[in-house]
Amino acid sequence: METQKQSQHKTINWGIIGLGSIAHKFAKDLLTIEGANLLAVASRTQEKANVFASQYNATRAYSSYEALAHDENIDAVYIATPHALHKENTLLFLEHGIAVLCEKPFAMNSEEVNEMILKAREKNVLLMEALWTYFLPHYQHVLDLVKNETYGKLLNIEADFGFYRAFDNNARLFNKNLGGGSLLDIGIYPIFVALSTLGIPDKIEADATFFGNGADSTCQIKFHYQNNIMASLKSSLIEDTPTQATFHCKNGIIKINTMFHQPSTVTIIADGKEETIDFGYNTIGYNYEVIHFNQLLRDGKTESDIMTFEFSRNLIKLLDKVRNEIDLEY
């Protein structure tokens, strides 16, 4: 029987499914983590699995997700498949007793997310939404500043995420049936910023523009809170935007600089001075959520105390409400 001391030093054997660009970044950072081992990967084609496994020193490569789910040596799986497959893939691995770190958005809607959480609880298996920003040191630092009202009460937020991509009807990013479009793919990040700092809004306003296939190309969102506090949020696949998150407080401004959702710097403007904090990142940034997840597993936890089920439920509810406002159906 494994002792508590042994479990605290247990190497976590990982599997990855959905071997696209995010999976490559995740695998690269996984290699930097002590006590984490990429054991197996799976793709729909053996050739793709073989190439990925070779690149990141995984010893097993499978041509189906089901084959990886039957590997009894896998402790945890990272799901990086298209959004529309998250529920199906998550349920497969939970059914086999394998802990699941599922890429955001957790699923396509609240109903699917609730089904995933119920299955995790039924099986008593760890499940967490992989919204990596929550675990990045610069974002945790900003959360502390806001929570402690270091620069006074938070009055307003502005957060955007936008980049230009030439429209391609065959690409996952634009495929409405796979959850493509700006809202679920990148709009989730500005919404996450508002939810993690101001909570659930009292009122939501949203407008959108659409590609010819019905996927949203831009989304403009306003969250209204009590005392005239507001979050102005934006996502776009047709223009490059600053991709910053700015927190206007009573006695100063906290700004997460460009690409706020990934390792970035934080600028504080207060008392007539401006200071930029560099957090000295030396990884892509996926390692922070993995280290947290590994510790949860070693501690026998089945839910994160940071990315809680309640938070994931609230996040998908907000996405559902925005979709309702802009008449976007999948």
Alpha-carbon span 205 to 213, nearest angstrom? 23
**Helices 309-325/110-123 angle, 10° precision:** 160
Q: Read off the DSSP letter of residue 198.
A: T
The tokens for 175 are 């495929």
The tokens for 146 are 């806001």
Alpha-carbon span 321 to 203, nearest angstrom? 10
Q: Read off the DSSP letter of residue 11.
A: P
Q: Where in the chain is the domain with CATH 3.40.50.720?
A: 4-130+291-302
Check if the beta carbon of residue 285 is closer than 8 Å to that of residue 261. no
Q: Residue 330's pLDDT is what? A: 86
**CA proximity to 107, closest of 322, 327, 316, 311:** 316
Q: Residue 113's pLDDT is what? A: 98
Indicate the burial class of 129 (C-beta count within 10 angstroms; 0-12, 13-18, 19 or more): buried
Parts of the chain with a pLDDT under 70: 1-6
Over residues 279-314, the pLDDT tens digits come to 999 999 999 999 999 999 999 999 999 999 999 999
Q: Residue 2's pLDDT is what? A: 53
Alpha-carbon span 229 to 225, nearest angstrom? 5
Q: Residue 97's pLDDT is what? A: 98
Q: Residue 111's pLDDT is what? A: 98
**CA proximity to 146, closest of 289, 4, 254:** 254
Q: Where in the chain is the domain with CATH 3.30.360.10?
A: 134-285
Alpha-carbon span 280 to 137, nearest angstrom? 10
Using alpha carbons only, give the angle 300, 22, 109 rounded to the nearest 5 degrees. Answer: 70
Q: Residue 125's pLDDT is what? A: 98
Architecture (CATH level 2) of domain 4-130+291-302: 3-Layer(aba) Sandwich (3.40)
Check if the beta carbon of residue 64 is closer than 8 Å to that of residue 41. no
Alpha-carbon span 199 to 253, nearest angstrom? 19
Using alpha carbons only, give the angle 186, 261, 277 rounded to the nearest 5 degrees. Answer: 155
pTM value is: 0.96
Q: In CATH, what class is 134-285?
A: alpha beta
